[in-house]
Amino acid sequence: MLVDVNRRLKRDKAFDDGRVQGRLVAALDGIEVLSSFSRRCDRCLERRVTLKDQAGRKYEETQYYHRAVGCQMIHSSVKPFLAIEWIQPAEGEDTAALRLLRRLPDLYGSRFFDILLLDSLYAQTPVLELVQEIGWDAVISLKQNARDLYRSAVRLFAQRPPDSRSTEQVDHKTYRVQLWDTEGLPFTIDNPEPVRVVRSEEVLDRQRYRHGERTEYSTDHEWLWVTTLPQQAFPAAIVRQLGHSRWKNENNGWMDLTKHWAFKHGFLHACRHRPKQTAANGEREPVPNHGLAAVTLILLIAFALSSAFVLRHSKLVRRDHLTAIAVAAQLRAWVSKGPPSIRAPS
């Protein structure tokens, strides 16, 4: 059903306001859904956590948790999740991400979106090869976990002045940006395929209150991205914009679900009241526990439908500029009202 909802949204051009150079953008990232020291299921991941007792003495205890990887449409007003993949025991987030990326073309086709934004964890040869095989372009954050490419880019950019400088105002913040852009750097020693790297040095000027007085202060930030986007159609400024847009997956995706949709509540996790089935040995045993995955999928469907209703249909948003939370509160109040008393004609 989630696939049908997203296909209908694209058919109704719900994503077109977020196109970048005519292309649709999606982002992929992971999240920890829940954790518990007592409740567990067959698919729980495990880790040892150091705690302190009332006397301040340290001790270790096993914690059970679930993590998942999700792909979300971003850069448009409506930002639904396309699919989610659960991380299984004894595997990493990158393995689940590769499994999800292979599923997406079967669910939606390879041209449902065009550009995929990824965290630095996915700056790996298998991910890059799979993305290119499917036909997407990628913008991947570059950090020191991709040591060879990172060091090559930093050394190269340190030897030359920036290719462009700009200043932009966002709300009450001022960004002074310097950009470097180069092509032809080898991705890894084992995979020397040439890639493009963009570097951004940003100085953020803003104001804050200290001891009742407003003062100005600045912070420095450095960002690097590796991308397969062509330099002529996507200059460095657009690559920087796309690289920062990946945070919308965190802020307008996982954070919204966590804060307003009880995403980390752990519905039906380790439920003991499951129906039973007859096993091969003739004994009765509970059916596999899919309750958490089922409720999560329902939440993603509701998240997509409510976002589409509020942002594309609700007159309250267009006329009165209400937030989605305010619209939800009004809908709840309307549903909670009892039916009007109707007297039968005498």
CB atoms within 10 A of CB 286: 12
pLDDT value at residue 285:
74
> CB of 95 within 8 A of CB of 45?
no
Please give the model's pTM, rounded to 2 decimal places. 0.87
Burial class (CB in 10 A: 0-12, 13-18, 19+), 188: middle
pLDDT value at residue 117:
95
Alpha-helix residue ranges (DSSP H) falling in the chain: 2-11, 93-108, 125-134, 147-158, 236-245, 247-249, 255-260, 291-312, 315-320, 324-336
Q: Which residue has the tokens 């002529």?
A: 232
pLDDT value at residue 346:
61
Domain boundaries, the chain: 1-119+246-325, 139-237
Which residue ranges in the chain fall short of pLDDT 70? Answer: 270-274, 344-346
pLDDT value at residue 210:
79
pLDDT value at residue 272:
67
> CB of 274 within 8 A of CB of 287?
yes
Q: Give the separation between CA 106 and CA 142, rounded to whole angstroms.
A: 29
